[in-house]
Structure 1
Amino acid sequence: MFAKPFKVKSNTAMKGSDRRKLRADVSVSFPSLSTENLSDLMPTKEELSVVKVYAHKGDSLTVYVRSKNPIVFEMERNLYPTVYTLWSFPDLLPTFTTWPPVLEKMAGGADLMLPGVVVPPTGLPEVQQGRLCAVSLVGSRAAVAIGVATMSTREMLASGMKGKGFNILHTYKDQLWAYGDKSGPPVIAPMETEAIPEEDQEEQLAPHDSVPDTHLPETQLESLCLVEEAADASQEGEDIAVDKESQETSDSEGCHLSPQEAMDSLLNQCFFHALRYKVKKSDLPLLTSNFLRNYLFTCCPEGQQVDIKKSSYKKLSKFLQVMQQRKILQIKELSKGVESIVAVDWKHPDIRSFIASASEAPAPAEDMGGGAEQLYQPPEIISLYGISAKMLPLFQESGHKKGDLLTASDVRSVIISYVKSNELVHPENKNFVTVNPVICDCLLDKSEYNDISLLKWDDLVTRCLVRMQQSHQVTFPGCSPVIRKGNIDPIDITVAQRASNKKVTIIKNLELYGLDPSAFASLLQQRVQASANCAALPGAKERVQVQIQGNQLPHVGKMLLEHFKIPRKYVNGLDLSAKSSKKK
């Protein structure tokens, strides 16, 4: 419910009468809370606030906040405690236990499946369907989620611990938790219980032959799946931590991860290595394509290679969105398909706890003036041509449909195939093609109907390309292709006159080619020793332009063409430099 940001409608302080009513309602909803507990939960001298919010799915909720931490939220006249409240009162709800890797999936919006629930030797808590329950991790009673049971305990056991167990409402690390002070869960020792001998345990579970033991199943679990190695580690009495520790446990035991799980592990390792040891605050904002190419890839251990397509995320943007949901970094979309890392929380526990292995000696972050500049690769840009309704008759025979996008060579091949299959090559001069009714309707203007009966091959293809819908595809290294309508805007360089006859050089559209305007301005400033800055691009949403004092056309052109290898056809304004040199 709180996996995505919610909208705050209002935030007001509670009146005394409302505070007393809330205390009474909480007492009715949670009878186990004593008068002292209620006083601790809602102290008389501390301010309470009522926050009206809309969840991302449109649900209207009321959140009650004490000292910046949400303590209770109300939905459809039902009260639910937050994890902050459950950390103070761990016995408020019946608690079920799961494995640490499951938490990340629940925080992302997944429900808790029964295969992910640990069945302790003492058995599961007795609950009925629809009962509100807490979820904790192995090794601690501190709740990390709350949810509603989809079936009773007896039904869970009878099902063989398969299917959905709980509809998760709120978790540690979700947006409701982030609305508070973002503190972590305390370590609350599990209740001391005597372990039941295995034989007695089997007798207790005899009526339910399919009930699994505390081991995780070896088969792939639906939705929330865990690796078998985590269970083995827990049996040895080791605490399992998300990501890093589970990976270390797996490696130490020589476990066999699936290729996708292994790639996810390598991707996470390189990601946290880059943030911990490579990326600096001065590097931000940083284009995600540059981060992937200049930082993440360079942190890959020798002999291994990160291939995001082979991971469960498939795309860099999806992986970074997950990291943003975990509050590790913040992403901003500059234009369609072009994103930038604008902030990193270096105090985040996942970053601070990352330790590089001995074979991965931490190296200082590369700035744009050195290695990053050499590692830069321009995007691959391909012109595409869409089939319109008018041009469709020419392409139907080849199996294409309206709206299909083709390259220029594909269009040429289709035209050649059409001409040959319809025997339209002029018998006396093979350089000409006979105009049939289809070609006439598609490629000729009305004024040309009676005048043109033959077309040269080049003229035929050129007319076809001109009448098709223009598009282009941009592929950044390591990212999925992005297709946009029209032709790509070139990098535009202009020299403008300012007050007191001063000149300034303006560079636009750098983002479209994977260049970070802020880093570009910093590097250019170092090279020409002139003041440079970034300003909003007029008429373009979330786009910026680089401005630098003086006429710097030669330096800008040299940087773009020689250092960043941008093809000359994608840079406008370089001819101004040639004209100005001729005048001199």
Structure 2
Amino acid sequence: MFKKPLSTLKTSAPLRSSYRRKFKQRVVNDYGLSPEDGDLLVPEGLLSQKFSTYANEPGVVYLSPEGDPLWFSIGKGSDGLIPTVYTLWKRPNLLPFLSTPAAVVPKLIDGADLMIPGVVQYSATLTPEQLVSITRYHRDKLGPPLAVGTMAVSGETLRRADEEDTKGKAVYVPEARDIPPPQTSTKGEQSAAQGDDADAAEAQSADIAQPAEPVSTIEAAPISSRDDTAEGNAGMETLTHEHPEQAEPSLPPEDVSVCLRNALLQAISTTLGALPSSSYPMPASVFWSNYVLPARPAQVIGAEGPVDANAIDIKRSTYKTVKAFLKVCAKEGIVKIKESKGDVVVTGVSLKHPAVAGHQPHRTIQSVDAQREKAEERQRKAKEAEEKRKTQIQITELWRPHGHTLGWFVAAGVDTSNLYSIAQIRELFIKYVSSKNLINVNDQSYINVKDDEPLAYAISTRNQDTPEFLKRDDLLNRIRANMQEWYEMRTESGETIRKKGQVKPISIEAKVRQGRKTSTFITGFEHFGIDATELAEELRKACAGATSVSPQQGKPNELEVMVQGIHIKTVTDLLVSKGVPAKWIKASGLKEKKK
């Protein structure tokens, strides 16, 4: 359930009535709530429980009488009070929000920070270090809160991200996911509980983190990998159980009319304004469905909370019909229309109209859908790449202590019979240099080689003097050069093969032999577990040409597959499909003619 265990978790204790009242008043004042909301979010019988994270950071979690975490603080001397998702379920508008596609939610559940590429929508005003909630994106409504964190960037950065393809973190989270409730909640699994320092809450009345001002519109942020996307990081609060039902807020007809007018202005200033004159006249139905409706605000927050985007509809407005709406806009001079036999067609739009020129752009339903589709496409490609990686032959270059390097590995206190990867050798080297104080005091990028006899001998070469000092990478390269080369190969079937020597790539060479005949020759494939006869047969079908298998010239123990014609790309694609990484395929010789 939790990424890392807590260092300590003390017994929970009820909060005294006087301190509970101070606590409630603090929440009411700082979050602009009514006393009734204060009683809901800071109930009678509130419990406090001290803890320390795995990093020994102190904190306190406040729990309901049933054991549900409601608030927490973390960090020595911190007076910042953070609500949990349990609290946000009761008051969804307590914090500004960001929404993310369903594909990103599992990453959050695993404890990841929210990356900029994974943001689809967000509140209009956001500032760094501001508390925010994270929801799953839904086209027609705002999803329930799933996580709580602090902004890593501003809303302006998110707005620029689409054009600049900005990457990085959008939301940081505290280390509170390590905090379990004192008992198992029947509501389901949680990956974080959150609370505040009990002594500070009882003894002080300091201000807590200020919530954002209520927003009237919701904007969409750009999508990246998330891919981007999304490495695990400490501190994200997430819940995977079902959420309480929320009433769907409505919007007055006047406000719907304003939203539709803004959608028209948005469409004129973007898509409609860029159309050639030949696009007109345009049927009102096409004008409305293809341009105005997609330009509606991605979401609007009314007096009762976020409003379903589908509520911004002509039937819910004061106009009731598209025809009536267009007539009003035509009188203003925003559009030009023509009526014939009861039907309306749009003959033009006015880019220079003051209302169009003064329009403030907003995130639209169309752009949010495009961002979501882009995010899903990136997730799909990332999944495909991961599946492809799993089917590839995994090759790891290894080295064994040998010759001059044996003494250095003994001095480092490791087994000289083991095989080591480049990462392991580097880690061992860093620890050794640090423990022996070999870093040059004048330039820390250099290591004092002659100050350590085992290290000096490990890099020594015949007929060359050992330098007094060297850069780290040069030292590592010299150590590896004096070690014995090995490699490990893991096939798709799970078989692991270890061999001494250097990995040699498969060679694909197109050249002329036997007069004027051009052929493609493949060698070195046997090291990758590929059978020569099977490869020749598959190439005969793929290249529609004659193939043969014969010993290599000068290497009678190794085979060569020949296929008539120049087929470098076809051969490469076939080898990749068999799991050979592209980096281990080397092509040379005559080039294929472009078709």
TM-score strictly above 0.5 = no
Q: TM-score, normalised by structure 2?
A: 0.36
Structure number with greater CO (CA < 8 Å, separation at least 6) is: 2
Q: TM-score, normalised by structure 1?
A: 0.37
